[in-house]
Amino acid sequence: MSETTRHHVGPRMSQAVEYNGVIYLAGQVGDDQSADTATQTRQVLAKIDRLLAECGSDKSKLLWAQLWVTDMRNFNDMNEVWDAWIDPGNPPVRAGLCSALAEPGWKVEIMVMAAK
Protein backbone atom coordinates (compact mmCIF):
# COMPACT_ATOMS: atom_id res chain seq x y z
CA MET A 1 0.00 0.00 0.00
CA SER A 2 1.24 3.48 -0.85
CA GLU A 3 2.12 5.99 1.81
CA THR A 4 0.32 9.32 1.98
CA THR A 5 2.49 12.42 2.39
CA ARG A 6 0.95 15.79 3.23
CA HIS A 7 2.64 19.17 2.72
CA HIS A 8 1.84 22.47 4.43
CA VAL A 9 -0.81 20.95 6.65
CA GLY A 10 -3.25 23.46 8.13
CA PRO A 11 -6.27 23.20 10.37
CA ARG A 12 -8.65 22.85 7.43
CA MET A 13 -6.58 21.37 4.61
CA SER A 14 -3.17 20.50 3.24
CA GLN A 15 -1.72 22.46 0.32
CA ALA A 16 -0.45 19.25 -1.32
CA VAL A 17 -1.02 15.54 -0.81
CA GLU A 18 1.01 12.77 -2.43
CA TYR A 19 -0.48 9.31 -2.82
CA ASN A 20 0.32 6.42 -5.11
CA GLY A 21 2.55 8.51 -7.41
CA VAL A 22 0.03 11.34 -7.83
CA ILE A 23 0.31 14.83 -6.33
CA TYR A 24 -2.95 16.60 -5.51
CA LEU A 25 -2.76 20.35 -4.94
CA ALA A 26 -5.36 22.41 -3.12
CA GLY A 27 -6.89 25.29 -5.04
CA GLN A 28 -4.33 28.09 -5.24
CA VAL A 29 -5.17 31.79 -5.28
CA GLY A 30 -3.08 34.93 -5.78
CA ASP A 31 -1.33 36.81 -2.99
CA ASP A 32 -2.45 40.28 -4.07
CA GLN A 33 -6.23 40.62 -4.09
CA SER A 34 -5.93 44.09 -5.63
CA ALA A 35 -4.08 42.74 -8.68
CA ASP A 36 -5.70 42.14 -12.05
CA THR A 37 -6.61 38.68 -13.38
CA ALA A 38 -3.37 38.17 -15.33
CA THR A 39 -1.19 39.12 -12.35
CA GLN A 40 -3.15 36.88 -9.99
CA THR A 41 -2.87 34.02 -12.51
CA ARG A 42 0.93 34.45 -12.60
CA GLN A 43 1.00 34.43 -8.78
CA VAL A 44 -1.07 31.24 -8.68
CA LEU A 45 1.10 29.48 -11.26
CA ALA A 46 4.25 30.43 -9.33
CA LYS A 47 2.72 28.80 -6.23
CA ILE A 48 1.89 25.70 -8.26
CA ASP A 49 5.46 25.56 -9.58
CA ARG A 50 6.85 25.78 -6.02
CA LEU A 51 4.52 23.15 -4.59
CA LEU A 52 5.13 20.72 -7.45
CA ALA A 53 8.90 21.17 -7.12
CA GLU A 54 8.69 20.56 -3.39
CA CYS A 55 6.89 17.30 -4.16
CA GLY A 56 9.41 16.25 -6.81
CA SER A 57 7.35 17.10 -9.88
CA ASP A 58 6.77 19.92 -12.35
CA LYS A 59 4.22 21.28 -14.81
CA SER A 60 5.30 18.82 -17.53
CA LYS A 61 3.73 16.08 -15.39
CA LEU A 62 0.32 17.73 -14.93
CA LEU A 63 -2.57 15.30 -15.33
CA TRP A 64 -5.62 17.41 -14.49
CA ALA A 65 -6.42 21.08 -13.95
CA GLN A 66 -9.47 23.02 -12.90
CA LEU A 67 -9.43 26.80 -13.32
CA TRP A 68 -11.98 29.22 -11.91
CA VAL A 69 -12.46 32.88 -12.75
CA THR A 70 -14.97 35.15 -11.05
CA ASP A 71 -15.90 36.96 -14.27
CA MET A 72 -15.98 35.34 -17.72
CA ARG A 73 -14.91 38.66 -19.23
CA ASN A 74 -11.49 37.90 -17.67
CA PHE A 75 -11.28 34.31 -18.94
CA ASN A 76 -9.04 35.26 -21.86
CA ASP A 77 -6.66 37.16 -19.55
CA MET A 78 -6.28 34.02 -17.44
CA ASN A 79 -5.88 31.83 -20.53
CA GLU A 80 -3.11 34.00 -21.99
CA VAL A 81 -1.01 33.54 -18.85
CA TRP A 82 -1.89 29.84 -18.62
CA ASP A 83 -1.00 29.26 -22.30
CA ALA A 84 2.40 30.94 -21.86
CA TRP A 85 3.10 28.84 -18.74
CA ILE A 86 1.85 25.38 -19.67
CA ASP A 87 4.22 22.80 -21.18
CA PRO A 88 2.83 22.68 -24.75
CA GLY A 89 3.94 19.07 -25.24
CA ASN A 90 2.22 17.86 -22.07
CA PRO A 91 -1.04 19.71 -21.49
CA PRO A 92 -3.34 18.25 -18.82
CA VAL A 93 -7.04 17.60 -19.14
CA ARG A 94 -8.72 20.77 -18.01
CA ALA A 95 -11.97 22.44 -17.03
CA GLY A 96 -12.56 26.18 -16.86
CA LEU A 97 -15.36 27.52 -14.71
CA CYS A 98 -16.88 30.79 -13.59
CA SER A 99 -17.69 31.04 -9.89
CA ALA A 100 -17.61 33.32 -6.89
CA LEU A 101 -14.54 32.58 -4.75
CA ALA A 102 -14.13 32.62 -0.97
CA GLU A 103 -12.74 36.18 -0.87
CA PRO A 104 -14.13 38.96 -3.09
CA GLY A 105 -10.66 40.14 -4.22
CA TRP A 106 -9.62 36.79 -5.63
CA LYS A 107 -10.21 36.66 -9.37
CA VAL A 108 -8.63 33.27 -10.18
CA GLU A 109 -8.25 29.91 -8.45
CA ILE A 110 -6.46 26.93 -9.96
CA MET A 111 -6.31 23.34 -8.71
CA VAL A 112 -4.12 20.66 -10.32
CA MET A 113 -3.04 17.04 -10.05
CA ALA A 114 0.33 15.84 -11.33
CA ALA A 115 2.33 12.65 -11.58
CA LYS A 116 5.31 12.35 -9.24
All structural domains of the chain with their residue ranges: 4-115
SS (H, E, C) 21-45: CEEEECCEECCCCCCCHHHHHHHHH
4-115: which CATH topology?
Answer: 60s Ribosomal Protein L30; Chain: A; (3.30.1330)
pLDDT tens digits, 2-49: 799 999 999 999 999 999 999 999 999 999 999 999 999 999 999 999
Handedness of CA 29, 16, 66, 59 (dihedral sign): positive
- Which of 93, 22, 88, 13 lies closest to 55 in space, CA to CA? 22
Residues making up the chain, counted from first to last = 116
Mean pLDDT across the stretch 59-76? 97
Residue 36 CA to residue 105 CA, distance in Å, equals 9
pLDDT given at position 2: 77
Q: What one-character DSSP code corresponds to residue 4?
A: E
Does position 94 have pLDDT exceeding 70, yes or no? yes
| pLDDT over 70 at 1, yes or no | no
- pLDDT single digits (tens) 96-110: 999 999 999 999 999
